Structures are given as structure tokens and as C-alpha cells.
Amino acid sequence: MAIEVPVIEKKPAKPAEDPRKQAKRQAKIEAELLELHARLEELAAQLSDPELYADYEKVKKVGEEMERVQERIQDNESELRG
């Protein structure tokens, strides 16, 4: 009794990206990362201000923005790693 093995077709390889475009994209991501880290520091400074805690909605808003910034940082860092 013969066992049939399905044939798996390989997908064509993606063409290599132009090194200049790749370098430009990497530089753009690195610049955005610097901006995001600076924004994260600003938000952390806001959270260290005791007056902020007088308004729960402001604290919540700053915390949510921090989460979004951290997610974008992680996305950009993973894209740089490739």
C-alpha cells in the first residue's frame, strides 16, 4: 500500500530590498524611536507630579498614552531586529 505525500510548492522568494531604501527606512524608524522615548520620559514626568493625581481622568489618559507609546516602541524595535 503506497502512501501519498502531498507536494508542497515553495513560494517564490521575495526580491531583496534596495539597500538604500532599507537604510532610509531604518534611519526613519530609529528617529521615531528617539522621539517615542522622549515622549515616554515626558509622560513619566507628568505621572511623577502629585498634582496630576487630583484628576483621575488625567491620570488615566496619561497612563493610556504611555501604553500606546510603549507598544509603538516595541513594534519599531521588533521591525529593526527584522
pLDDT band at 7 (very low <50, low <70, confident <90, very high): confident
Q: Tell me, yes or no, whether 8 lies in a domain.
A: no
Q: Tell me, yes or no, whether 2 lies in a domain.
A: no
Q: Kindly provide the b/e burial profile for residues 19-52, where b requires at least 16 CB atoms within 10 angstroms of the residue's own CB.
A: eeeeeeeeeeeeeebeebeebbeebeebeeeeee
Domain of 77 in residue numbering reads as 19-81
| Between 1 and 22, the higher pLDDT residue | 22
Instruction: Quote the pTM value.
Output: 0.72
What are 16-63's pLDDT values in tens digits?
778 899 899 999 999 999 999 999 999 999 999 999 999 999 999 999
| Between 82 and 67, the higher pLDDT residue | 67
Q: Tell me, yes or no, whether 59 lies in a domain.
A: yes
Q: Tell me, yes or no, whether 43 lies in a domain.
A: yes
Q: Tell me, yes or no, whether 10 lies in a domain.
A: no
What residues have CB less than 8 Å from 42, skipping those under 6 apart?
Answer: none
Q: Give me the number of domains the chain comprises.
A: 1
